[in-house]
């Protein structure tokens, strides 16, 4: 469901995955659905046709953000396993009201793709193994290469819900304990038009857990040098670091110094393997009944942090989370 940027990415990966048979593609724009269906060896359909077809075991929901929750719930009611893009909703209240999702058996996978990146996953594994002792502080850098289209900004949900939402989930995954306080500074320093549209383009955030662990998040809508994706985890006995991933590690040295490949320019390239691994996980849910690795609780936890960050940026104050954030 959905043949836009993310829908096309997932559809092409599904068509290439030997464990999946991509059957239908639906979009509010029938011509766009038809074009993607032809490219992927599938057929165009309506949402209702997909829901009514008993042969359909799972649905990838990549609609516009404001339709993700409603579409996902409709799929679950029709007995389909659901792979949903994030954020599942732009409203904490709406997400909390969707009580059917509280059931841990609900086959709903919310695609926080960072957890499936092989580099980040290895950092998590080695951190949990105690390789650098107990985690004390965490640095997450998430900078886009260039600003998005200005038409996207008003419907994006804002920087914290559209962009930082990935970092909130990554932080929860690595910190492995509830976040109790959030502080955010945010500015519009790249493009005044983003501010005119009611959003910000640059932010620095600090999360604090009950035990005192600190996480610094750095966000920017523009770098000028590529897609900057880094993690540093500092423990009591050392540190673990994931740097930017390049297409190759070959460098050339001459009188001007070393020269190597540029960073990946955007998320489809940098996280290509993570997106493929997400679909393998979805196949495991359908074939073997595997529980979703990230679902309703994770989506709600990240969205609560996003709302707290927005409030902090507006008020210039630290926002305490009542009872802490659900440990994910």
Read off the pLDDT of residues 45-61 as tens digits, 9 standing for 90 and up.
Answer: 999 999 999 999 999 99
pLDDT bracket for residue 328 (50, 70, 90): very low
Assign 159 to helix, strand or coil.
helix
What mean pLDDT is predicted for residues 231-255?
95
* Cα separation, 325 vs 168, whole angstroms: 11
Residue with tokens 């029709």: 78
Centroid of chain to Cα 135 = 23
Q: Would you state the pLDDT for residue 103? A: 84
**Is the pLDDT assigned to residue 271 strictly greater than 80?**
yes
User: 171 near 140, Cβ under 8 Å?
Assistant: yes
Q: Please determine, for residue 143, whether its predicted confidence score (pLDDT) is greater than 60.
A: yes
CA atoms of 13 and 315, how far apart (whole Å) = 42
What is the average per-residue pLDDT within 5-17? 97
User: Is the pLDDT reported for residue 13 higher than 50?
Assistant: yes
pLDDT at 22 exceeding the cut of 70:
yes
Q: Of 327, 122, 312, 310, which is closest to residue 213 (Cα–Cα)?
A: 327
pLDDT more than 90, % of the chain: 92
pLDDT top residue among 102 and 244 = 244
- Looking at the predicted structure, is the pLDDT value of residue 78 above 70? yes
What digits encode the pLDDT tens for the residues 276-296? 999 999 999 999 999 999 999
Does domain 115-266+296-320 match CATH 3.40.50.720? no
Read off the pLDDT band of 327 (50, 70, 90).
very low
Residue 148 confidence class, pLDDT cut points 50, 70, 90: very high
CATH of 5-86, one of 3.40.50.720, 2.60.40.1730, 3.40.50.2300, 3.40.50.10600: 3.40.50.720
pLDDT category of residue 102 using cuts at 50, 70 and 90: confident
Q: Residue 324: pLDDT above 70?
A: no
Residue ranges per structural domain of the chain: 5-86, 115-266+296-320
DSSP-derived pairing of the beta strands 257-260 and 58-61: unpaired
Average pLDDT over residues 10-34: 97
- Rounded-to-integer distance, Cα 321 and Cα 92, Å: 13
Q: Which of 22-26, 103-107, 184-188, 318-322 has the lowest mean pLDDT?
A: 103-107
In the block, tokens 């724009």 appear at 29
Q: What 3-state class would DSSP assign to 271? A: coil
Contact 105, 95 (CB under 8 A): no
**Contact indicator for 298, 102 with CB cutoff of 8 Å:** no
Angle at 258 between CA 257 and CA 262, to 5 degrees: 135
Sequence-distant (6+) residues with CB within 8 A of 49 are 24, 26
244 with 222: CB under 8 angstroms? no
Average pLDDT of the chain to the nearest whole number = 95
Question: Band of the pLDDT at 87, cuts 50, 70, 90?
Answer: very high
Question: pTM of the predicted model, to two decimals?
Answer: 0.94
Cα–Cα distance for residue pair 205/140, rounded to 1 Å: 10
Does the bond joining 87 to the residue before it have cis omega, within 30 degrees of 0? yes
Alpha-carbon distance of 115 to 275, in angstroms, equals: 10
What gap in Å lies between CA 111 and CA 275, rounded to an integer? 9
Task: Check if 5-86 and 115-266+296-320 are the same fold.
Answer: no
Q: Taking a C-beta distance cutoff of 8 angstroms, is the pair 283, 17 a contact?
A: yes
The CA distance from 321 to 178, in Å, is: 9
pLDDT at 325: 44
With a CB cutoff of 8 Å and minimum separation 6, the contacts of 47 are 1, 26, 71, 74
Query: What confidence tier does 323 reach under pLDDT thresholds 50, 70, 90?
Result: low
């Amino acid at each position: 469901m959905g043949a836009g940027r993310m829908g096309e990415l997932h559809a092409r990966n599904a068509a290439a995955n030997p464990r999946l048979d991509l059957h239908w593609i639906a979009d509010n724009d029938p011509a766009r659905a038809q074009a993607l269906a032809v490219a992927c060896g599938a057929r165009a359909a309506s949402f209702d046709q997909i829901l009514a077809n008993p042969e359909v075991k799972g649905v990838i929901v990549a609609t516009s953000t404001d339709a993700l929750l409603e579409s996902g719930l409709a799929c679950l009611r029709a007995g389909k396993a659901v792979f949903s893009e994030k954020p599942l909703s732009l409203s904490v209240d709406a997400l909390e009201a969707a009580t059917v999702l509280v059931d841990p058996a609900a086959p709903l996978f919310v695609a926080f793709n960072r957890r499936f990146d092989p580099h980040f996953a290895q950092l998590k594994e080695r951190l949990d193994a105690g390789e650098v002792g107990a985690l004390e502080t965490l640095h997450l850098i998430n900078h886009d290469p260039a600003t998005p289209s200005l038409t996207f900004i008003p419907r994006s949900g804002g920087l914290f819900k559209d962009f930082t939402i990935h970092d909130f989930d990554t932080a929860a995954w690595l910190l492995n304990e509830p976040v109790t306080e959030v502080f955010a500074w945010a500015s519009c320093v790249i493009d005044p038009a983003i501010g005119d549209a009611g959003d910000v383009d640059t932010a620095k955030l600090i999360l604090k857990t009950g035990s005192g662990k600190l996480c610094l998040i750095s966000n920017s809508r523009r770098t000028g040098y590529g897609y900057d994706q880094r993690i540093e985890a500092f423990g009591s006995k050392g540190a673990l670091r994931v740097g930017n991933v390049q297409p190759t590690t070959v460098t050339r040295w001459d009188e001007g110094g070393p020269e190597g490949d540029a960073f990946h320019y955007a998320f489809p390239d940098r996280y290509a393997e993570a997106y493929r691994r997400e679909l393998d996980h979805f196949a495991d849910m359908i074939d073997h009944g595997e529980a979703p690795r990230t679902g309703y609780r994770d989506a709600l936890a990240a969205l609560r942090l996003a709302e707290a960050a927005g409030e902090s940026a507006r008020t210039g104050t630290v926002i305490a989370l009542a009872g802490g954030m659900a440990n994910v």
